[in-house]
Chain A
């Protein structure tokens, strides 16, 4: 077990190293003087000179990387070109907003979709199965930003049940804050449920064909026991991995949802920073999201033996 954990932790290291090198290299790929890019258009020559020394531009690339990585490890992600804010606190505060939405959405989607997928597999080719798979395929084909717009139009503008635009922090006003989160979370749940139903169904089908299920049935176990105690336990592994991937992908792709509902999250910050050519902030967003992606997948891997102890033995 300890070996398994250490192995997985070690496997994450090269990925983290590569992610940081890529994020660092990104700025160096852009034509022009990195120091001038980091300071924006209004910079004075002496400021640029100071920045050049700070970034170590007179030194070799590997040394420049070490300077940058050293700063990042000390929590110094640089300052925003646009408003001179320190990047780390800015990025972290926006990240919390996005994470709140994504985590709740993925949790709800899993609670709805996984049982639905298992049941669809159990009644394979029945009318219910066809209906569930058909619905899932349609749901996953609807782009989230369009679904969000439609829900906004229906519940916000036509029915007037929910606030249309904006965001109130849960820390300031719990009830009010939750009202603003209903539509974005609903949008993501509907879309991701489509993906997860199909995944849960496919992996359950694979398990239901195996001999031990026939054996369990032959023993006279109830269908409920066969399905949930025997089949589900073995079938959940791939779905669990998928949930991790979705969580990570959503953190990267939430910009569209945040745009539809004007939520000040990390995705919106990143897109705005791309428009403003605010490279320190872009770097900060990229680094934070990709590291959390690696971390989420690591945690998913580490918890995997809970559902399938065989992976430890391999």
Chain B
């Protein structure tokens, strides 16, 4: 087994910090993230408020912790949705081949012809701009990529001898599909799901920044940036910290994703 690279390690640490922060935020934050305080409006970072306070005197660190929770939650549900739907569609399509495959892939490729964020915007217009609207919209927008990757893997796997053997042993198709084909698709699924988690967090914060995401006062990194924007000249920290959280999270996911790809994707071996 090749050791994880230095980059992969940094990525892993960044993601671990994100997950830990989100988990701690479930039980404890330094201050009540919703509590207004008009005496402490736009207070600079200090020993009391480590990352300062916002335009309503709310503690920025506490709000970032709750925001981490929202990002992880929405990202995970979106990726979960796209992975489950995309994997099922890809499995069926690649395993059945023939006209079923042709039909599914025609629709799939047409969906891929939309830029993801545009499809999500269009769907948000239908579902309404809120947390679950975002999860559905992004989940549907990402499903076709997953379906395509899984189908590709299934197409090459189903020709292999051990699949033939499973059939000869009299296992039914469903059993062969889930017991033998699916586990062998896990590598490409993991690589894509990792990147998707990054796309989802980025898109969620972009949509929240636009005001189409989780509505205030519930904090997300995106809507904190949008709310802090008019005050960035007097209170730089309002424009700095939420963005830094998003950037570090994405960096962590990108580094981890690269490391996973190097390790799991045979095509990339020897390139690094």
Contact = CB atoms under 8 A, between A and B. Distances in A.
B116 A249 contact: yes
A150 B115 contact: no
Given A15-B109, A26-B126, A274-B129, A289 B225 contact: no
Contacts of A279: 125
B175 to A, nearest CB: 35
Contacts of A18: 107, 110-111, 113
B209 A26 contact: no
Given A143-B202, A274-B129, A15 B113 contact: yes
A294 B112 CA distance: 10
Interface string B209-229: 111100000000000010001
Contacts of A253: 115, 117-118, 206
B25 interface: no
B52 to A, nearest CB: 15
B233 A150 contact: no
B243 A255 contact: no
A182 interface: no
B229 A15 contact: no
B59 to A, nearest CB: 21
Contacts of B211: 271, 275
B121 interface: yes
A166 to B, nearest CB: 15
A49 interface: no
Residue among A141, A153, A279, A289 facing the most chain B CB atoms (10 A cut-off):
A141
B125 A274 contact: yes
B110 A26 contact: no
A146 B125 contact: no
B8 to A, nearest CB: 12
B247 A146 contact: yes
A14 interface: yes
Contacts, number: 126
Interface in B47-68: none
B131 interface: no
B250 A153 contact: no
Contacts of A19: 110, 113-114
Contacts of A205: 271
Contacts of B254: 137, 140-141
Nearest to B258: A137
A18 B118 CA distance: 15
A142 interface: yes
Given A149-B243, A205-B271, A286-B122, A274 B110 contact: no
24 contacts: A15-B109, A18-B107, A18-B111, A22-B114, A23-B122, A137-B258, A143-B206, A145-B209, A149-B229, A153-B232, A153-B233, A202-B271, A206-B271, A209-B271, A252-B115, A252-B116, A255-B121, A256-B209, A259-B210, A271-B210, A277-B125, A286-B122, A293-B113, A293-B118
